[in-house]
Amino acid sequence: MIFFSNSVIVFIFIEALLLLLLSIAFINVVGILKSWDFSATSTKQYLLEKRSYLVLLIIFFTLGFKIILLPYFIYMIDELNVLVPGAMCAAGVINSNIYGVYLLSLKVRILFLVGLWIILNHYDLQAKDYPFFKKKLWLFILIFFLIIAESILDIFYLINIVTDTPVSCCSAIYGVSGISNPIPFDLHVSELLGLFYLLYGLTLISALYRYALLSLFSNMAFLYSAYYSVVYFFGTYVYELPTHLCPFCMLQAEYFYSGYFIWGTLFLGTFFGISAALLQYITGKEIKKMYRYSLAFNSAFILFCSSYVLLYYIRNGVFL
C-alpha cells in the first residue's frame, strides 16, 4: 500500500537513479585511483584526467541531489502519516518499524559527509595541482558504501511500514512517561537549557577566534544538546502546548513548516563548525569562511528558537 503513494514512487525512482549513477562513478573511481599519477605525462594519465572530470561531475550532481533528497524524504514520511494508523506525524511513521530511526540517522550522517565532499572538491578544483584528489575519491568510496547501506535500509524500512496495525503517535514516543527522564544524564530541562546556551557560547568563541579543535567538539556537543532542547523545551513553544513533545510535528503546515528552518539551521551551523576543523586537518589550511557560516547558522538557530519563548512570554505574560 505504501508503494502506491506517489511520493514513495518518486523517492524510490530518484534513489535508484542516483544509485545507478553513483555505481558508474564508483567503478570509474576505482580505476582512476589504481592508475592515477599526476606527475606522469603519459597518454593514460591524460585520458584518466579527462575521465576524472566527467566522473567528478557525475558525483557532484548526484551528491548534490542527495542533499535535496533528505528534506524530501522527511516530507514524504510526514505525508505517509495518513496511511499509517495511529501516526499523527513523521514520528509515528519513522518509528513504525525498527529500521526507521537507523535510516534517518544514517541519512543525516551521509548528508554530512556529502557536504564535506562537496567543499573538499571545491577547494581541490580551485588548486591547479589537485592536491586533495585522492583524499576526495577515498571519501567518495566511503560515501558510496554508506549509500548502498542506506538504499538497503530504505527498502527494508518502506517494506516494513505497517498500514494495518496502529503505531504510537509522537506523544507516546517522546512524551513524559512519569517513570524515567528521557533527557540524557538525567538532566532537568532548566539544566539542559543552561548547557545548551553555554555550549552555544563555546561554538561562538571557537568561530570568532577560529579554534579548530574547540569548534569540532563544541559543535558536536551543541548539536546533541540542541536536539534535546528543541524536543523537550523549544518545541513546546512552537506548539504552544507543554505536553506536545515532538521533533517532527513542527515540519507540518500548521506550524508554518518552521521545523525545516530549525533543523536546517542547526544542521548547517554544526556542519560548518565541525567541517571547519576536519577540513583544516585534511587540507592543512584554515578556511575562514566555514567559521563564519557556522557562526551565522548557529546564531540564526538560537535566535529563532529563543524568539518563540520570548514572543510567547510577551503575548501571555507567563512561560509554559
Partner 1 sequence: MKKFLPYIFILLIMAGIITIFLSRASQQQMLTVHEGNTEYKPLPIKLGHYQDTQCGMPIEHLMNSAQAIAPNGKTWFFDDVGCLAIWMQDKEFKDKLIIWVYAKDTKTWIDAHKAWYSLTDKTPMHYGFSAHTNKKENYIDFVSMQLRMLRNENMSNPHFRRELLGEH
Q: Which residues bind partner 1 (CB under 8 A)?
A: 177-180, 185-187, 191, 194-195, 198-199, 201-202, 205, 208-209, 211, 214
Q: How far is the CB of 16 from partner 1 (least distance, A)?
A: 35
Q: How far is the CB of 109 from partner 1 (least distance, A)?
A: 26
Measured CA distances, 212 to 217, 267, 274, 302 (Å): 9, 18, 8, 21
Q: How far is the CB of 161 from partner 1 (least distance, A)?
A: 22
Closer residue to partner 1 in complex, CB, 50/188: 188
Q: Are 6 and 84 in contact (CB under 8 A)?
A: no
Closer residue to partner 1 in complex, CB, 22/183: 183
Closer residue to partner 1 in complex, CB, 179/318: 179
Q: How far is the CB of 218 from partner 1 (least distance, A)?
A: 9
Letter string b/e over residues 203-230, b meaning 16 or more CB atoms within 10 A of that residue's CB: bbebbeebbbebbbbbbbbbbebbebbb
* Cβ atoms within 10 Å of 146's Cβ, excluding its own: 16
Q: Please return the burial class of 174, using the count of CB atoms within 10 Å of its CB with bins 0-12, 13-18 and 19+.
A: buried
Q: How far is the CB of 299 from partner 1 (least distance, A)?
A: 16
* Cβ atoms within 10 Å of 285's Cβ, excluding its own: 10
Measured CA distances, 284 to 205, 247, 276, 277 (Å): 21, 37, 11, 10
